[in-house]
Structure 1
């Protein structure tokens, strides 16, 4: 929980336009749902640079898939994609017990599995990116609003102190 809090605090303090930070984060979340684990940060930073969005927030967004969450995310992506492509989970477990059949079956099914995971990632990644954009925009805007209010309070306090000193010198 402490790590999440530190991540959040570092995220909301990123430099740049809040809209570009939010767009970068949304892009990262979307790419994080793709079956490109191992290359996601590079892809996200490259795309963010091309689009003029925040590269750091894009890289942060891809961490939605990490070694802990990836099995669950990819399983759900596969399930959604397979349903949309009208594919079943498996078409025969008896053959899967033979090693040679397992290897040849896996090689034959690879394009279908990849298509299912990719389609599922797109279908689930779009609403996640949309929600992530608004959440990031709100969080960064809220933080900056608080900082601006504190700065204004400090400025006001300094003005009042300056006015008191000036009044005490003239009396």
Structure 2
């Protein structure tokens, strides 16, 4: 259970792993960047548990990398979700009005009980988070797309140049077998 919430080694190692996976994907820089940005944007929606699916649908519709979209959803994680949910709710509440019972604090207990679950009960919390999430998701898509496209373009150019120089290098002949 701990591994699902906290990485085995360290956060920096996990971030480096995702970075290398994104850079090494076989797709255009646009497809990789758009896919990753779609995953990040999906993480800002209140569709808890559906971020992978939502990111994949966005990536498929925009002809971006579905694998990159899955990697992009890792921006939403146990460390970032409290911040993301708080900011999306606050922004959405400012735009659509009070999400709770006319500005009163939201009673989370009624949202966590499956026996009393109803969409009407969840709507005061869901609506502001959806509005705030769509706005912040769009902003995050833009904020991630351009830097990732530039990084992937540079990485692919360096990698292609490296392989081209290896292909042009003279091949050393094997030493004759000693008898």
How does the TM-score come out when normalised to structure 2? 0.74
Name 1:150's counterpart in structure 2.
Answer: 162
Instruction: Map 1:1-171 onto structure 2 (within 5 A).
Output: 1-87=12-98, 91-92=103-104, 110-158=122-170
**Deviation sequence 1:5-60 (CA, Å, 0-9, x none):** 11101110011121111111121111111011211102221332243211001111
Distance 1:16 1:86, change over 3 A: same
RMSD: 2.8
SS of the residue aligned with 2:48? Answer: coil
CA distance in 2, matches of 1:108, 1:115: 11
**Deviation sequence 1:84-111 (CA, Å, 0-9, x none):** 1232777446xx7xx99xx89x986631
Structure 2 unaligned segments of length 5 or more: list them. 1-11, 174-179
Q: How many residues align?
A: 154
Which of the pair has more CA radius of gyration? 1
How does the TM-score come out when normalised to structure 1? 0.77
With a CA cutoff of 8 Å and minimum separation of 6, indicate the structure with the bigger relative contact order: 1
Distance 1:40 1:79, change over 3 A: same
Name 1:169's counterpart in structure 2.
Answer: none
Distance 1:127 1:50, change over 3 A: closer
